[in-house]
Chains A and B, each alone.
Chain A
Amino acid sequence: MKIMSDNSEISFSNFGVYDLDDQMELTLPNTMIKFNRISENAFSYYRENSEGKIVEKIIPVKSSDVKIELAPIRPLNYPARRTNHLFLQFDKEIYLSENSAASIFVNCPIEIGIFLVHDSNYDSLDWVTCDPLNSRFGLYGSPDTGTLCKYAKVSMANDYDDSDPYVEAVMQIVVENTMSFGQSISKVVFPITDNSLYYQNSKAIIDGLKITMKKRAAVNIADVQTTSLETDWSASPTWEDKTASTHMEMGLE
């Protein structure tokens, strides 16, 4: 059940659910993933990226009905999970005159999660990034009190289909200026953990943001809220980093 995109020279595997048979290969930009059955109840997992980094795992399974889901996930894992915040720097400033609103689409970076699907449970198996060079950190605020964020310089998109497959998801941002003077907006910083992702073939979209620029007492603030998408695209499972909370205990029970 391997589906290939047909508009590129190298055929990459689309996002979606794949039946795990005796052998399976998934190809992504700069990344190769292989599954092999090594016994009746176990598979081997092999992943290699463009830097030559190899990840290998053994996956024991209970039932023979095992599937793999390839889905876009939030861009928080590469090079290491340090924050839940995303810092989007727009390549062009948006100017809003007094009491006006605008709706824009931006290309938001993504990573790709590999999930093990069995008995309608989703286990987070691995993740990859197809654009490691643009997966970096940035600081919003001062070094002592600022917020560490994943940083990306993003461009505007025309609609939900206008994104680089496997690398970006399109996000709609609605900006409203309720103040009595014009205001420019060049960046947005928000916790991305509330934003769900959706996919169709090789494209991805993400829950949007509503930014309201308003005056609170003597301070001008931008109130950022997540807006849920209503779409028929498939929803991505949530990636969970289970290694971080595992407590290893040695001794007698």
Chain B
Amino acid sequence: MILEFLQSLSEMQIVGELTVLSLLIGGVIMAGGVIIAKIAKLLFHKYYAPSLPKDTAQNISKLIYFGILIISFLGFTSSQGIDLSGIMVAGGIFAVVIGFATQSVVSNLISGLFLIVEKPAKHGDTIELPDMGISGTLLDIGTFSSKVRRFDGTVTRIPNEKFFTSNIRSLTLSTVRRADATVGISYQSEIDDAILVMKNEILQTMPFVLQIPEPEFRIEELGDSSVNIHVYVWHPRDDWSNAQPILLNTLKRALDKSGIEIPFPQRVIWTGKD
């Protein structure tokens, strides 16, 4: 019964030698390939990816998935009796036509390959793209685009061409990073005393601030109302949130505790009679 059914399918020609049966076999090969590719990808993610660097795991995962798909496709074409050598010749001409028509797509693809080879940033790095005003964590460098999760939780998709040609500022490449803040003290206050109390408070209450190099204090400006001091502290690269957002608070607390005035802008007005 089944054999008869298959026999009937093999006799139903679609185009040339292409029959419904061969198309069905091709479909089974492709479907099998997709299923095997997905299972292989899943098993890789489950058992091997956790022990690898994230970007390496992602690239190997893509290689496995698309590798199996390509093998399945080759199996599909040979099952249909398609001669690939003819397609290769036609494909060359076709590729030129497609290349002109889809320049940006090809450009994104090539840029993606260069990004994977050059690795200006890797998966999980915190980066900033000053030209685009984007900063966040690099989630993925894909075939055509890259994804960056911004600090507000939203994900931005950037075409690889733009990503590749823009300035990339890596915030996690160095071992340590620097945080800074400016604080103003009154002209009546002793600058050395203010620096000493601020330094002591930073070293005592900010455990992520490095002792070496020491916090640095520079007189930035003799301003209209205050002497402005710029403070620089170093911290481990992953602990920005334990340094920068609380630095100004620490400085103010230190000055408040020791009674050093942080002046408001003020202006002395002399009238003509005076």
Task: Report A's interface with B, CB cutoff 8 A.
Answer: 78-80, 82, 87, 89, 132-133, 135-140, 143-148, 151, 247, 249
Contacts and interface: CB of A to CB of B under 8 A. Distances in A.
Contact of B175 (A89, A146, A151): A146
A143 B178 contact: yes
Nearest to B173: A144
Contacts of B236: 80, 82, 137, 148
A147 B175 CA distance: 7
Interface stretch (B58-66, B89-97, B203-211, B247-255): B203-211
Interface in B135-192: 173-178
Contacts of A89: 212
Given A139-B175, A146-B175, A148-B236, A79 B207 contact: yes
B210 A138 contact: yes
B213 interface: yes
Interface residues of B, number: 23
Given A80-B239, A82-B238, A136-B203, A144 B174 contact: yes
A139 B210 contact: yes
14 contacts: A79-B207, A79-B208, A80-B239, A82-B236, A135-B207, A137-B210, A138-B210, A139-B212, A139-B213, A146-B175, A148-B175, A148-B176, A151-B210, A151-B211
A130 to B, nearest CB: 15
Contacts of A82: 236, 238-239
Contacts of A151: 210-212
Given A80-B239, A136-B211, A138-B212, 4 more contacts: A87-B212, A136-B210, A148-B176, A151-B211
Closest 3 CB pairs of A and B: A138-B212, A79-B207, A247-B50
Contacts of B208: 79-80, 137
Nearest to A83: B236
A186 to B, nearest CB: 12
Contacts of B173: 144
A61 to B, nearest CB: 29
B207 A136 contact: yes
Interface of B: 46, 50, 173-178, 203-204, 207-213, 234-236, 238-239, 242
Contacts of B211: 136-138, 151
A137 B46 CA distance: 36
Given A146-B176, A148-B176, A78 B207 contact: yes
Nearest to B178: A143
B207 A249 contact: no
Nearest to B236: A82
A91 to B, nearest CB: 14
Nearest to A248: B50
A89 B235 CA distance: 19
Central interface residue in B50, B174, B211, B213, by most chain A CB within 10 Å:
B211
B174 A143 contact: yes
Nearest to B49: A247
Contacts of A146: 175-176
A81 to B, nearest CB: 10
Contacts of A138: 210-212
A132 B207 contact: yes
A20 to B, nearest CB: 31
Nearest to A151: B211
Contacts of A144: 173-175
A133 B203 CA distance: 8
A31 to B, nearest CB: 16
Contacts of A87: 212
A138 B208 CA distance: 10
